[in-house]
Structure 1
Amino acid sequence: MQVTETLNDGLKRGYAIKLPAEELDAKVNEKLTEAQPEVEMKGFRKGKVPLALLKKQFGQRILGESMQEAIDGAMNQHFEETGDRPAMQPEVKMTNEDWKEGDDVHVEMSYEKLPDVPEIDLSEISVEKPVAKASDEDVEEALNNLAETAQDFEEREEGAASEDGDQVVIDFVGKVDGEAFEGGAAEDYPLVLGSNSFIPGFEEQLVGVKKGDEKAVTVNFPEEYGAEHLAGKEAVFDVTVKEVKKPVAAQVNDELAKKFGAEDLEALKGQIRERLEAEYQGAARQVVKRRLLDALDEKVTFDLPPSLVDAEAKQIAHQLYHEENPDDQGHDHGEIEPTEEHRKLAERRVRLGLLLAEIGNQHEVQVTDSEMTQAIMNQARQYPGQERQFFDFVRQNQQMQQQLRAPIFEDKVVDVILETAQVSESEVGKEDLQKLLDELDEV
């Protein structure tokens, strides 16, 4: 077999591969000879079928297999000898389309090789990490927010009208075409106005009612309502208002703490402080990671495979299109042409991706099976009731596995770099940390 270089331009490579007919024929004969002892055919004992007959019967199929194996072997040998790593699947095609048995096979192979990534001294990288502690004020604010979510209701003064957010205690009977329907009546029902827990339009008509009022509330059931006999129908509810209550925050005391599973108020404050500081650490991690990636991006420059940049730019353009057009859920919007800004971002992502991959390989960073399983389980929770199907889908889908593995690998490489880099800490408040996070979204 002959391999001749036809293109060497930057990272682009091209080769002409010639597989002589006699080599291919020898490979076919070798395969048939190996199989001969196990072949049974009418009129012959097992293992005694003549090679010529085997070739006539199975030669064409064996020929195709041999041709593919020979080309794959030539490619693998080429990559072993050159050390090239293709950025994407090499393009391989036969050039003598009028090929017939007995002719040499001529193949062209082209690809873009991954660049040689320059080594960098990780100890020379310096980044500043923000550190935020949960202050007493932060804890009190979170505690008061909890109290609001655990709100109670107390009766308004006599004669007061209900407001949005109030709770009204009502009796009601619903009728369609003058006839009461099953499930359309209740007594002493506590309804929070503005909760949208009733048919659209129902709650709004009870804003402004007073204790003792009787009111006919007219609404239309939605066309897609679950009960077919009510879907799209007009209904009239005869409502009696028995109480009007205003919302009040729960008292911040031991009883509130017990509602949230804590032993007492001090224990609840401790839990809140831990949760807040975990949130702050997560935010600080995002900031220091971005700063580290910025530092790495400034430190290295090398040629990038155009195919990877093009693919990444198209992916960015597609993703941003759907973020800006959330109502367009389909993918029939045609080709979205990447802008120059998309290409610059794509170049940064590809460059950093190749750099982090190289650093990860040098430090033998691996994503463990347990880490992958945890990632799949976390993702599966987004599909309630279909977790097992999602889990099986990912197990059988290499591309999906790579999508889940990539961020885990990246974070582990970032940890490796931070262990060696010069990391200084600066104490910041909650507001300053939030401002740093907002700045990340703006970049």
Structure 2
Amino acid sequence: MALKSSNKVETNVYELEITVDAETFTEACKKAYMKQRKSIQIPGFRKGKATQGMIEKVYGEGAFYEEALEIVYPEAVGSAFDEAGLKVIDQPTDVEFPVMNKQDGVVIKMKVTTYPEVKLGEYKSLKGKMLDTEATDEDVENELKSMQDRNSRLVTVEDRESQMGDTCDIDFEGFVDGVAFEGGKGENYPLELGSNSFIPGFEEQVAGHKTGEEFDVNVTFPEQYEASLAGKDAVFKCKINEIKTKELPELDDEFAKDVSEFDTLDELKADLKKQISERKEANAKTDYENQLIEQVVENMEVEIPECMNKQKCDEMIQDYSYRLQMQGLDLNTYLQYLGQTMEQFREQFMDGAKQQVKVKLALDAIVKAENIEATEEEIAEEIAKLAEQYNMEADKIKAAVTQEQLTDDIVTRKAVDFVVDNSVKE
């Protein structure tokens, strides 16, 4: 088996011609015969007892070619890729077998898409601005308000109209052109006014009504809604059964004791200030890195094969689907709820996929240019960190994640650190 020729026919695309010698292919035919003989019936022979020659005489010399090709193809193609020094990133196309017999062996012709060549531009001495990391008193107050809201309770109110922020227990039924539609009815539904959980304009029209009052809500379904309702005008017959409002706890030492490990409100505020500052520092670090990496991407030259973008998009959708499954939903049901086709859903991910591919190509190029490597100690530390994160034994982490994946993660992070360490803060 050998690589006969490798020719670049366009950017990131090579045309290969690969040969499998007659002896190797003949031996593969014998292996194919041994594998299939028990299932082949030839008149005059007991099942499984016919010789290879007799079977080929009855069914033709090529009786075992297809199976033999499956035997030799993977090694022949893999060896050819290595010999040509090509990093192939997609399934071969335009695959042909102009020659395939035991006298001459096999000739395989194909086109392959390879990992793109990246020409790095400037990636050192880049400039970026760090976000402010100071935790202000206003930040602390906002955090306390959020904690207040999370620890509030709902109390029923009488003799007043509903307001934005209230939670209304409502009955409703929707009609389009005077006909009730499926899924448009609900009873004793708790709707928080201002949560934007209903169709735009619905919640605002519930506000201003009292308990026991019946009224109509007129809305237009968004164009992106389920196909049968998209863009249509609807009338919802509504009734408010009960109005509840949030009752916030007092911000005092008792509140601090109830919601934290601290005895005083001042201690809680000090801890919140520290947490906010740490959070801002982490966000500032990430934002600064992103600024620099965006510049690296802008400065490089590369033609990216479309298959890389599609593969990354597939990965992102698969990850999204997995997270939906964790919530008890499947992707097809979710798409029906959104009123979207898979193609429309994919479009939402494609821009992000393209950017991720560009970033990875840029960082891989820096790893190569700077000879960045992962040490055994760093790999061991990464395994220990993952084991702690997922509460698993180190051996199970090693079985689940390849060393190649671990190495790739480490050198990618080190490439980002290299860009940051060689940058200039404005």
Counterpart in the other structure of 1:140: 141
* 1:314–1:337 CA contact under 8 A, matched in 2: no
Q: 3-state DSSP class of the match of 2:130?
A: strand
Letter matched to residue 259 of structure 1: D
How much has 1:280 moved relative to structure 2? 1.9
Give CA-to-partner distance per residue, 1:339-391, whole Å, 9 cap, x none: 9x9998766543322122343564235884566678889xxxxxxxxxxxxxx
Structure 2: state its 5+ residue gaps.
Answer: 35-49, 172-185, 192-205, 215-240, 320-333
Residue aligned with 2:88, SS: coil
Shift of 1:254: 0.9
Separation in structure 2 between the aligned mates of residue 417 and residue 397 of structure 1, nearest angstrom: 25
Q: What TM-score do the two structures reach when normalised by structure 1?
A: 0.53
- In the alignment, residue 168 of structure 2 is paired with which amino acid? G
Distance 2:254 2:345 in 1: 59
After superposition, residues 93-242 of structure 1 pair within 5 angstroms as 93-96=95-98, 99=100, 102=103, 104-118=105-119, 122-151=123-152, 161-162=159-160, 164=162, 194=168, 199-200=187-188, 208=210
Q: Structure 2 residue aligned with 1:333, among 341, 353, 364?
A: 341
Asked if 1 retains the 8 angstrom alpha-carbon contact of 2:118 and 2:365, the reply is yes
Q: Per the alignment, do residues 131 and 95 of structure 1 end up closer, same or farther by CA in structure 2, a change over 3 Å counting?
A: same
- How far has the Cα of 1:331 moved from its partner? 9.7
State which structure, 1 or 2, has the greater radius of gyration over its C-alpha atoms: 1
3-state SS, counterpart of residue 168 of structure 2: coil
Q: Displacement of 1:133 after TM fit?
A: 1.2
Q: Does 1:257 align with 2:256?
A: yes
Q: What are the superposed Cα offsets for residues 31-58 of structure 1, whole Å, 9 maximum, x if unpaired?
A: 79xx9xxxxxxxxxxxxxxxx9688799
* C-alpha displacement of 1:410: 9.1
What amino acid is the match of 2:142? E
- SS of residue paired to 1:130: coil
Q: Give the Cα separation in 2 of the matches to 1:332 and 1:140.
A: 41
Equivalences for 1:20-59 in 2 at 5 Å? 20-26=21-27
Q: Match for 2:74: what amino acid?
A: D
2:132 and 2:284 in contact (8 A); partners too: yes
Percent identity at matched positions? 15
* Contact 2:133/2:277, CA 8 A, preserved across alignment: yes
**CA, structure 1 residues 85+267, in 2 after alignment: closer, same or farther (shift >3 Å)?**
same
Distance 1:10 1:113 in 2: 9
Structure 1 residue 260: deviation in Å? 0.5
SS of the residue 1:200 aligns to: strand
| Residue 357 of structure 1 pairs with residue 364 of structure 2 | yes
Q: Deviations over 1:218-249 (max 9, x none)?
A: xxxxxxxxxxxxxxxxxxxxx9x9xx997543
* Pairs aligned (count): 326
Give the Cα–Cα distance (whole angstroms) in 2 for the partners of residues 263 and 302 of structure 1. Answer: 55
Q: Which amino acid aligns with 2:300?
A: V
- Tell me what 1:305 maps to: 305
Q: TM-score, normalised by structure 2?
A: 0.55
Query: Are the structure 2 counterparts of residues 104 and 375 from structure 1 closer, same or farther at C-alpha, using a change threshold of 3 Å?
Result: farther
**Separation of aligned partners in 2, 1:330 and 1:193:** 25
Q: Which amino acid aligns with 2:76?
A: A
Cα distance between partner residues in 1 of 2:283 and 2:336: 31
Query: 1:19 Cα deviation (Å)?
Result: 2.4
Unaligned runs of 5+ in 1: 36-51, 167-191, 210-214, 218-238, 320-325, 378-391, 426-443
Q: Which residue of 2 aligns with 1:292?
A: 292
Tell me the equivalent position of 1:10: 11
- 1:275 alignment partner in structure 2: 275
